[in-house]
């Protein structure tokens, strides 16, 4: 089986890279056609467009991995079944699980490569795509979304009515300390400005109200320097910021947000869980793909390939739904993320009972 193992692994990886390349090229052509008018209207340099397409291609590779792995396995296995190779392998006394070994090796190589890409390469590509869209395709925004709420520390909450990124200035700022549902102190200011000279915030026309058991203390002033665990970058982060961080940076960001007591730390934790979970999908889908396509059919491999597309899309939809539920604040986010893998693992074990012996 050693020679056959090498041939299967070679064909598997070769088919995988071919399918990846074809699907990415098709999507890139469609994306370029859709955005070409904006490229011309905004006079986007050709070099920037090429870099954007390269980064977007890497992003698509991560998104399409379940489909490409499944289709590659379906294609290779159905071709072997059509040539009666699987029957010959099993008739020689080789077990079905032994025949799966080269497929698992190929899937493991793809899974390891996907983990390395997800952890250290794709975040930079995702950041490049986000920056390109923000610079050339999105309409210019002079201020971020209104009504910004940030948890700067446990029991301490900051609020800005409107923040202008051009001058690092916010209006109608409040900083509240709340413990056990009771307001302990509230600092308000008409404006908050980032002072680049000392890297701290300066409050203009501020008012401080401190509540005590015996009463309250009310203080006002024109200018006050204050240190907060937030910077202007915290008010201008892209919505997919957690996807643009390399794995070491993601771990550091999680620690910072946990120390700050921020509510959005769950998004960063889920992103970390996804990066460790994704490589297992390649092995799992390979297992199911071989089982589905191992039977020889009169109609050829067209039905198996179509079925492969269908199952791969079902997996992606289940993954997206489970991630949405996890980000919504479920009590067990890891379990929610693993639901697609658990469901497909059970499906694979059930299908395994039907494979030819």
More confident residue, 145 or 354: 354
- φ/ψ of 152, rounded to 5, equals -90, -20
For residue 62, is pLDDT > 90? no
Q: Residue 239's pLDDT is what?
A: 75
7 contacts 80 by C-beta, under 8 angstroms: no
Angle at 248 between CA 243 and CA 249, to 5 degrees: 55
184 contacts 211 by C-beta, under 8 angstroms: yes
- Exposure of 279 by Cβ count < 10 A (0-12 exposed, 13-18 middle, 19+ buried)? buried
Q: Are strands 182-195 and 169-179 parallel, antiparallel or unpaired?
A: antiparallel
Helix (H) or strand (E) holding 152: strand 148-153
The whole-angstrom distance between residue 10's C-alpha and the CA centroid of its chain comes to: 30
- 46-76 burial, b at 16+ Cβ within 10 Å, e below that, comes to eeebeebbebbbbbbbbebbbbbbbbbbbbb
Mean pLDDT is lowest, of 142-156, 246-260, 286-300, 340-354, for 142-156
For residue 291, is pLDDT > 80? yes
Q: Report how far residue 126's alpha carbon sits from residue 247's, in angstroms, rounded to the nearest whole number.
A: 13
Q: Residue 141's pLDDT is what?
A: 53
For residue 7, is pLDDT > 90? yes
pLDDT band at 298 (very low <50, low <70, confident <90, very high): low
Helices (H), 42-93: 46-82, 85-91
Please give the average per-residue pLDDT across 186-207, as a whole number.
93
Mean pLDDT is lowest, of 187-196, 233-242, 309-318, for 233-242
Q: Name the residue among 354, 315, 357, 356 with its Cα closest to residue 337.
A: 315
SS3 content of the chain, % helix, strand, coil (to 5): 60, 20, 20
pLDDT tens, position by position, 132-188: 998 898 755 555 667 888 888 888 988 899 888 878 899 999 999 999 889 999 999
Q: Report how far residue 281's alpha carbon sits from residue 287's, in angstroms, rounded to the nearest whole number.
A: 10
Helix (H) or strand (E) holding 322: helix 302-327
Angle at 63 between CA 60 and CA 65, to 5 degrees: 100
Mean pLDDT is lowest, of 36-45, 65-74, 121-130, 256-265, for 256-265
For residue 236, is pLDDT > 90? no
- Of the CA atoms within 13 Å of residue 220, those in its CB half-sphere come to 2
Q: Name the residue among 323, 314, 293 with its Cα closest to residue 305.
A: 293
The end-to-end CA distance of the chain, in Å, is 17
122 contacts 199 by C-beta, under 8 angstroms: no
Average per-residue pLDDT for the chain: 89
Strand partners, 233: none
Please give the average per-residue pLDDT across 321-333, as a whole number.
86
Q: Residue 152's pLDDT is what?
A: 83
163 contacts 169 by C-beta, under 8 angstroms: yes
- Distant-in-sequence, close-in-space partners of 89: CB < 8 Å, separation ≥ 6: 4, 99
Q: Name the residue among 162, 182, 26 with its Cα closest to residue 174.
A: 162
Q: What is the DSSP string of 292-305?
A: HH-S--TT-SHHHH
pLDDT band at 1 (very low <50, low <70, confident <90, very high): low
Q: Residue 328's pLDDT is what?
A: 83
């Amino acid at each position: 089986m050693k020679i056959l193992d090498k041939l299967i692994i070679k064909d598997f990886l070769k088919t995988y890279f071919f399918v990846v390349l074809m699907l990415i090229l098709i999507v890139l052509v469609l994306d370029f056609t859709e955005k070409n008018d904006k490229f011309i209207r905004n006079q986007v340099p050709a070099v920037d467009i090429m870099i954007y397409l390269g980064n977007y291609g890497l992003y698509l590779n991560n998104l399409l991995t379940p489909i490409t792995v499944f289709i590659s396995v379906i294609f290779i296995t159905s071709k072997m079944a059509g040539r009666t190779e699987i029957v010959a392998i099993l008739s020689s006394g080789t077990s079905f699980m032994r025949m799966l070994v080269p497929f698992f090796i190929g899937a493991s190589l793809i899974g390891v490569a996907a983990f390395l890409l997800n952890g250290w390469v794709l975040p930079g590509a995702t950041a490049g795509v986000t920056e390109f869209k923000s610079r050339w395709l999105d309409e210019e925004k002079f201020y971020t979304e209104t009504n910004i709420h940030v948890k700067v520390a446990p029991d301490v909450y900051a609020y800005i009515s409107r923040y202008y990124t051009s001058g690092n200035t916010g209006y109608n700022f409040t900083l509240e300390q709340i413990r056990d549902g009771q307001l302990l102190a509230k600092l308000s200011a008409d404006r908050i400005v980032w002072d680049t000279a000392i890297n701290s915030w300066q409050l203009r026309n501020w008012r401080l109200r401190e509540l005590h058991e015996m009463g309250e203390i009310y203080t006002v002033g024109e200018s006050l320097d204050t240190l907060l665990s937030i910077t202007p970058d915290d008010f201008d982060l892209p919505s997919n910021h957690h996807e643009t961080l390399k794995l070491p940076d993601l771990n550091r960001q999680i620690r910072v947000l946990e120390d700050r007591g921020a509510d959005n730390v769950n998004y960063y934790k889920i992103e970390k869980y996804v990066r460790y979970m994704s490589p297992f999908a390649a092995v799992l889908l390979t297992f199911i793909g071989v089982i589905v396509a191992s039977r020889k059919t009169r109609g050829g491999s067209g039905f198996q390939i179509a079925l492969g597309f269908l199952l791969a899309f079902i997996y992606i939809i289940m993954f997206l739904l489970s991630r949405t539920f996890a980000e919504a604040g479920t009590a067990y986010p890891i379990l929610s993320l693993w639901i697609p893998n658990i469901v497909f693992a059970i499906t694979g074990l059930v299908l395994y009972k039907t494979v030819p012996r």
